[in-house]
Amino acid sequence: MPLSVTGRETRPRQRLGHGLRTVSDIAKLAGLLAFVSGAALTLGSDGASAQAAGQSDRGQARKAAAPKSAVAPKAAAQPAPAPTGKPAERLLVEAAELIYDNDNNTVTARGNAELHYGPRTLQADRVRYDRASSRVFAEGNVRLTDETGAVVTGDTMELTDDFRNGFVDALRIQQTVEMRGQPVRTRFSAPRGERVEGEQTTFESGTYTACEPCKNNPETPPLWQVRAAKIIHNNETHIIGFEESTLEIAGIPVGYLPYFEAPDPTVKRKTGFLTPRFITSTALGSGISTPFFINVAPNFDITLTPSFLSEQGILGQGELRHRLDTGTYTIRASGIFQTTPSAFLPGPLGAGDRDFRGSIETTGQFYINDRWRTGWDVVGVTDKWFLDNYRVRNSSITTDYFREAVSTAYLIGQGDRSWFEARAYYFKGLSSYDWQKEQPVVAPVIDYDKRINGPGFLGGEVRFEANITHLDREATDFQAIPRTGSYYFNPTVNGTTYSLYETCTTFTRSTCIIRGLSGSNTRASAQLSWRRTFIDDAGQVFTPFAYLRTDAFFVDPRNSGYQNALAQTISTTDSDFSGRVMPAVGLDYRYPFVSNFGPLGVHTLEPIAQVVIRPSETHIGRLPNEDAQSLVFDDTSLFEWDKFSGYDRVEGGVRTNLGAQYSVVTPSGWYANVMFGESIQVAGVNSFRRGDLANVGLDSGLERRESDYVGRFQLSPNQNISFVTRARFEQRDFTVNRLETGVIARLNPFAPIDLSMFYSYYAAQPLLGFNNRREGLTASATYHITPNWFVTGSALVDLTHYLDVRDNFANAYTSYLANPVGAAPVYTNPGRANLAGLSIGGGYQDECTTFSLNYIVSPTAAALGVTERNRTVLLRVELKTLGEVDLRQNVNIASTADGIAATR
């Protein structure tokens, strides 16, 4: 190992006549650097030791004229042998003084001593090597930095000559690790640390924390720390053991464990127990989940989570994750043999008649090559309530309100200008309103999209789109208009009557619509389109376009089964094969006027006109409509060639779309946009005037020759504030039929507040089953009291709930008059504003701790059929690098219909 030395002054303590030893003896100090691998327990390195032997200096010192302190020439640096099998490393020693004491057989580097060995650096006020005892001492502001940036500090360090055993006084270790993409700095400290056989480091009376010390008062205890009588770090197993450990919050002991161990922060995956989760529930009782993680291989792991429940027994859960060269897959399974099924309502309201309940979920995605991939996301449950009753995490659930578990498998291919996707779907309804027989099985759904440059003189872009969809449904999905409160089943449990699965009272075209038709339905669609944009010298933009759409339907209605035959009384569906062809030509015209007003910004006024010429749509109301029911007419769909949302419907007739928009962009960052327009049916049959089996098109604003007006206003004064309003107005008197307005704002630096507020209004659409207007408000805000403390809240307000309560009472009272048995229904006025959802809470967050406490009122009535809102208190505490705990407590005081029995 080559040795380089910088020393300004050499002081022999006694006689100059004795031969000086070469400073290459200080090469022994190189092994001190190996101590970082053992002392820095957060690194988890193997702590390979190094040993360098010094050689005797054969030169003699020149006699100096000065009596005590003479400046001697630099001694020749002699190379020390490198460890076997490793390349030679150069040890660089820098110090204000290098002192050789031949009588005591020591060599000392003093005054800002600094040793560099490869990527490691040792700094101290004084470093001394005692050749007689073969020990190395570093003292005074000792600081050791390794190649990862980890820093070990102490008052003194003492090592044996093989550097496998040693001590550090006033030890402090600091290291930066990464967690969830964020850097976290960990700290260990101890009055004394001991290194044993190069593999194990022991800290007496040690502490550990991931919190930064207080800048103004570093002696103040951190927000949290673990204090232990002994902390043992094994570099080989990368395990940290804590003996007689106490968790302190702000210096106050709050928890005690006689012993626990955890992997050091360098370990990303380690077999062992994870943070437990505590459970409390009326139906489940009290319990605890104890996850156990098994690291099978770097790309393969298993997590087993038994949950011990006082009321229901043991819930077993397991998860397998496996990453391969071409993709990944996961499998999750859970199950329980219930000891108290009666804690849940009986079927069809709950799973009280089941002993075994469980679920299985699997996901996967694999890349076939750089253009093709395949995968799946599949879930199966024994009953619709299991996932919620037992709080089983499931990624396939769509929303928190209208809930369903969606299973899908897919094959996707992508080219430079093409796209292919094939999927299959299975929908599992999780709402009390969902009847599984009405849910379709959709397989396959195949989409293909290809774009090429237009040929020859045509130019522009040619696009080919194709779709094939097949689905099966066991029972027809009926809905009454207006909704009369008619249901398939009305079971009574414990004196409470529940309504399940909506249907119609009378099955006629004017009183009943069909959301989904029973039987088998296959459709194949293809569309070939062309478009090209021309801009003349005046700046006018002309975009001619044309398309040809073809559809083939193969329909096999199922008339057997409960009420399925009644669909024929509403509309006669074309059976077997039906074809549909829709050619179209059109022109899109825009003429933007642009002016630059300097500091007032760039202003653009753009009139827009579009005409689409095509024949009338055929087979309206005689073909199923499964994928084109979400028709919304607003500013975003005004200039669509076909305003239907899916392939089952196609817009026909000659239609003109007119509008204009005005935009402003200023140098200071302001942006504003206003848009207004309408759509006019010029000739042919208006596709939106004649409703299909689901009445799509009616009450849409497009059903008359001249449509409703649509508009948009958007304003963003800067990047922190955004305001947008969309509206649809009655064409005759400007009555608002649809309004959505909202603002998102971050008020910094004026105020430490983040807020959002949205208001929605939808006029009644009785022909679609919405007898009353729908109106609501949602708002949320977060106030940052300090950079660490915050309070937050959100609310969902239903402003028309009282109208539904009134109608339900009217239906119930009418039924009572027809059959006056029992007590007459009593009307309870719920008030004009109904608080459908609420969340209030607060918390604290810094570099090492996250704490939050929230009270949540969820609008679960439509999701789970509950008779009151779901009230939950949620507490979450995370001590970074140690773990996190989530506690959830349901605080409902009344019975619910989510599968939990009202009485026991």
What DSSP letter does each residue of 389-401 carry, written as one string?
Answer: HTT---TTB--SS
pLDDT of residue 159: 73
Q: Return the residue matching tokens 């529930």.
A: 281
Confidence (pLDDT) at 1: 38
Distance CA 791, CA 751 (A): 14
Q: What is the mean pLDDT of residues 760-773?
A: 92
Give the residue from 307, 450, 505 showing the smallest Cα distance to 389: 307
Assess contact for 88 and 52: CB atoms under 8 A.
no
What average pLDDT does range 715-738 have in this prediction?
95
Radius of gyration in angstroms for the set of CA atoms belonging to the chain, rounded to a whole number: 38
The single-letter code of the amino acid at 617 is E
The mean-pLDDT minimum among 17-31, 215-229, 743-757 falls in 17-31
pLDDT at 893 exceeding the cut of 50: no
277 DSSP 8-state letter? E
Q: What are the residues whose beta carbons fall under 8 Å from the beta carbon of 598, sequence distance 6 or more?
A: none
Cβ atoms of residues 35 and 144 within 8 Å: yes
DSSP state at residue 223? S
What's the CA gap between 760 and 774, in Å, rounded? Answer: 8
Q: Using a pLDDT cut of 90, give the percent of the chain over it.
A: 49
Q: Which of 465, 438, 463, 439 is nearest to 452 (CA)?
A: 463
Which tokens is 834 given? 């109904």
Q: If you average pLDDT over residues 73-97, what whole number do you get?
A: 52
State residue 164's pLDDT score: 64
Q: Please, is 39 exposed, middle or buried when counting C-beta atoms within 10 Å of its C-beta (0-12, 13-18, 19+)? A: buried
pLDDT tens sequence across 93-133: 788 888 888 888 888 888 888 877 777 788 899 988 787 88
Cα-flanking dihedrals φ and ψ of residue 630, to 5°?
Answer: -95, 65
Task: Round to whole Å and give the CA distance between 640 and 643.
Answer: 6
pLDDT band at 91 (very low <50, low <70, confident <90, very high): low
Q: What is the pLDDT of residue 785?
A: 95
What is the token pair recorded at 517? 């038709």
**pLDDT at residue 693 in the model:** 92
Distance separating alpha carbons of residues 871 and 255, to the nearest angstrom: 30
String of DSSP letters for 123-192: EEEEEEEETTTTEEEEEEEEEEE-TT--EEEEEEEEEETTSSSEEEEEEEEEEEEEETTEEEEEEEEEEE
User: What pLDDT does 224 receive?
Assistant: 92
Q: How confident is the model at residue 832 (pLDDT cuts 50, 70, 90)?
A: confident
The span from the CA of 32 to the CA of 115, in Å, is: 10
Q: Out of 153-162, 531-540, 602-611, which region has the weakest mean confidence (pLDDT)? A: 153-162
Say how far apart CA 53 and CA 116 lie, in whole Å.
17
CA atoms within 13 A on the CB side of 492: 3
Instruction: Name the least confident of 394-408, 434-448, 505-519, 795-809.
Output: 394-408
Token couple for 715: 């304003």
Is the pLDDT at 753 greater than 50? The verdict is yes
Tell me the C-alpha distance between 341 and 352, whole Å. 5
- Percent above pLDDT 70 for the chain: 85
Quote the DSSP letter at residue 707. P
Instruction: Please answer whether residues 301 and 292 qualify as being in contact, where contact means their C-beta atoms are separated by less than 8 angstroms.
Output: no
Strand partners, 159: 136, 166
Per-residue pLDDT of 786-810, as tens digits, reads 999 999 999 999 999 888 888 878 8
DSSP tag of 23: G
Backbone angles phi, psi at 90, to 5 degrees: -95, 125
Distance CA 179, CA 601 (A): 45
Q: What is the pLDDT of residues 2-59, one digit of tens each?
A: 444 444 444 433 333 333 333 344 344 434 433 333 333 332 333 333 333 333 333 3
pLDDT of residue 721 exceeding 50, the answer is: yes
Q: 301: how many CB neighbours lie within 10 A of its CB?
A: 17
pLDDT digits (tens, 9 = 90+) for 383-425: 988 988 888 876 666 555 567 889 999 999 999 999 999 999 9
Q: What is the mean pLDDT of residues 663-679?
A: 96
Which pLDDT score is estimated for 814? 81
What was the pLDDT predicted at 244? 94
Spatial separation of the C-alpha atoms in residues 9 and 93, rounded to whole Å: 14
Segment holding 512, helix H or strand E: strand 512-516
pLDDT at 39 (0 to 100): 35
Which run of H or E residues covers position 852? Answer: strand 849-858
Distance of CA 854 to the CA centre of its chain: 19
Q: Does the structure show a pLDDT above 80 at 331?
A: yes
What is the chain's mean pLDDT, rounded?
83
pLDDT digits (tens, 9 = 90+) for 603-637: 999 999 999 999 999 999 889 999 999 999 999 99
For residues 316 and 304, give the distance between their C-alpha atoms in angstroms, rounded to a whole number.
8
Report the 10 Å Cβ neighbour count for 797.
18
Structure tokens at 167: 């001590």
Average pLDDT of the residues in 331-355: 90
pLDDT tens-digit map of 589-600: 999 999 999 999
Residue 322 — φ and ψ, nearest 5°? Answer: -140, 120
pLDDT at res. 153: 82
Is beta strand 91-95 parallel, antiparallel or unpaired with respect to 3-7? parallel
Three-state SS at 25: helix
Structure tokens belonging to residue 608: 């827009």
CA-CA distance, 118 to 705, in Å (whole number)? Answer: 83
Residue 155 is encoded by which pair of tokens? 């008052």
Closest CA to 35 of 185, 154, 177, 190: 154
| Residue 859 pLDDT class (50, 70, 90 cuts) | low
347, amino acid identity: G
Rounded to the nearest 10 degrees, how much is the dihedral formed by the CA atoms of 806, 807, 810, 816? -110
The pair of three-digit structure tokens given for residue 8, joined into one six-digit string: 């300004």
Residue 155: how many CB atoms within 10 A of its CB? 17
Which pLDDT score, from 0 to 100, does residue 333 have?
A: 96
Report the pLDDT value the prediction gives residue 200, as an integer from 0 to 100.
80
Cα–Cα distance between 587 and 639 in angstroms, integer? 11
First to last CA, the chain: 80
Q: Report the pLDDT value the prediction gives residue 397, as an integer from 0 to 100.
A: 64
Model pLDDT for residues 283-306, shown as the tens digit of each residue: 888 899 999 999 999 999 999 999
Residue for token digits 């967050």? 845
pLDDT band at 869 (very low <50, low <70, confident <90, very high): low
Give the chain's domains with CATH numbers: 3-219 (2.60.450.10)
Written as one string, the DSSP assignment of 632-648 is: --STTTTT-SS--SSSS
Task: Band the pLDDT of 226: cuts 50, 70, 90.
Answer: very high
